[in-house]
Chain A
């Protein structure tokens, strides 16, 4: 009985420690996701907001209806001739509220306010605001500010405001977009971040870089690894020793000489600079060599007797059997290329050649205090890898584990 109790206690302890650790590991992700759907005011609360307004189904409904009135149910917008009707329930009698469409700060802005007709009408139980797009232009957002006298006992807007501030005798209620549509509401920060910096281009550069590096790198490593594992050619030991020696040199040492070399070639700020220096990976060659060596030699002897050349042996026998090894190395080199910051930072100058990580690093400086947008951008930056992980979980874990077995 006592041992049974001790066993149970032990189990409970194991799960408690593991769960506590897992919560700690996962928390930054939760915090990133939660912040990425927060308005600036929500993000900047002294007491953390655990469930942001944009995650509440009550608001989703209102956002979808308002979006449908302004443009589209899912993506919102403020189309020509459309009218967005918005209700704030109030209790008691007080002076009427005022509404306006604010001009965004800065010299260049959507000329939105000149073309929007605003009506404020008393209806039973509250106030109804109508915003009509009287221009013939299509707007992405409908930012709105409503001043509501503080003398109302209580009030509840259909869509939770993004910010509530005190302005004299009024509450100043702010919406960054009163016609958001469902996705436009929840993913507002994502859309704004995407528009604030050329993320589409960043992703293109990153994927081309990482994809080319993986494909060409695999090809090179598959050939060289095969030669080292299965072809007895003169000089093999010597070349292998040279490769071993390069593994001792930390990547840091190569930064300056490779930069100079690229500059002399005129390759700075091009795809060549991002891809070519890291194409041949000694690590990948070793990994695949180990893999080929684990295949039975009889297989190759039989093929040789049947008259297969080394070329045929590599592509018909060795490669199909080494697919797990290829996946391991592919995952590794994609991770390395996609997540790298230092090298792309050094060899690229123009925004057109920035990878996602360099773009994100620049965005951190530009986003200022809009942490919602910053977290949205961070989420977008890690999304491809995390999605890849969930698609190929086993390969990821086994691949990493395999890399540790020497």
Chain B
């Protein structure tokens, strides 16, 4: 980029978009930053840029200058900042014959990226920071001005038994569903990869639950779990057993005959929650199978043929060839599964709308939903969200440390 004027057009684009966002931030009174001043400054610098460039771009340059001038009016109407963006476009049209290759690339690159970038800034980047910001206030609401309280919400959160309950429930959910899904998925994928007939039919049957909406699937499983007329109770010969309203922990139930009494966290997830987990594994299995099958098919056949000539048994083939060469895929599924499982909401909300008996199926996302949208305590809910972010981050990093050492990246 030899001459600075080659960057004028893309710079105007960026300045225009940012001025637009700043002007809107001012209009909506979001945050404490002096967004009106920033917007004015941006629009002004856009105008000066256009003034500098206009003589070089002929008629288009004049139009660009007019547009940049109109962009200054964004002080009165936020939408007018878009004129600064327009001025960038006009300037490029004026200069394009004389612009060298890198300058053209700069303009088009930014022009293609800005629409997405602006949306990502508004709906992803800004909210991530804003969540932390409002968690520092006392009950942010639309009506009253709220007080800055620092980390008080976090302090309350760490002494909130319901939050710990939700966190431990979610922990059990992750621990139960992610490995089960991967192990079952690997088994099915390995069997499907044995050149079976009706591969398409089998794959469809295993895959269909994944594309089924969770709401509908949860309704079906509620019906299967129904205490009086449910199919499961008929199958197991346990008439009247209310799967979704049994808060006893499964470890506690299993060990009770042995005379061991487990309480609290150690009693494990409740029967109701395990029922929901079973449904979730059913739902997710197809995804794992398809991904693992693709992973299996990318393992070269020669490895197996060579090992078979050496007299390896079927089990040895799976253990020493399939498992290590499949490990990148398994690792990917573990990470994706963890992040997804930690945010479980839909099936829990549909099957146990109140969080179950004694909050035995309350998950973190559901607690966040309850706090934010039932109790309208946005600040507290944001504190939950921030903690969830760090927990997921920590778990992902931990998983990377622990598991990635065992991952074999082939070739």
Contact = CB atoms under 8 A, between A and B. Distances in A.
B372 interface: yes
B102 A232 contact: yes
Contacts, number: 298
Interface stretch (A85-93, A134-142, A147-155, A222-230): A222-230
B127 A396 contact: no
A32 B231 CA distance: 11
Interface string B193-232: 0101000111111111111111111011111101011010
A300 B104 CA distance: 15
Contact of A227 (B112, B286, B350, B392): B112
B110 A361 contact: no
A293 B294 CA distance: 21
B343 A231 contact: no
Interface of B: 1, 7, 10, 28-30, 101-102, 104-110, 112-113, 115-117, 119-120, 122-128, 130-131, 134, 140, 142, 187-188, 191-192, 194, 196, 200-217, 219-224, 226, 228-229, 231, 234, 239, 282, 285-287, 290-291, 293-295, 314, 329, 332-333, 339, 342-343, 345-346, 349-350, 353, 364-365, 368-369, 372-373, 378, 381-382, 385-386, 388-389, 392-393
Most buried by A among B120, B345, B368: B120
A95 interface: no
Contacts of A309: 104, 108
B32 to A, nearest CB: 15
Given A46-B229, A393-B204, A256 B215 contact: no
B109 A227 contact: yes
B107 to A, nearest CB: 8
24 contacts: A14-B196, A18-B188, A31-B224, A32-B216, A44-B228, A47-B234, A220-B115, A224-B116, A231-B112, A234-B106, A252-B364, A252-B389, A256-B134, A257-B127, A282-B124, A309-B104, A311-B108, A338-B213, A341-B215, A357-B216, A360-B213, A381-B215, A397-B203, A404-B295
A21 B212 CA distance: 18
B115 A224 contact: yes
A382 B285 contact: no
Contacts of A14: 191, 194, 196
A235 B10 CA distance: 11
A45 B239 CA distance: 12
Contacts of B204: 389, 393
B220 A31 contact: yes
Interface residues of A, number: 100
Interface in A14-73: 14-15, 17-18, 21-22, 24-26, 28-29, 31-32, 35, 43-48
Contacts of B1: 234
Nearest to A398: B294
Most buried by A among B106, B200, B203: B106
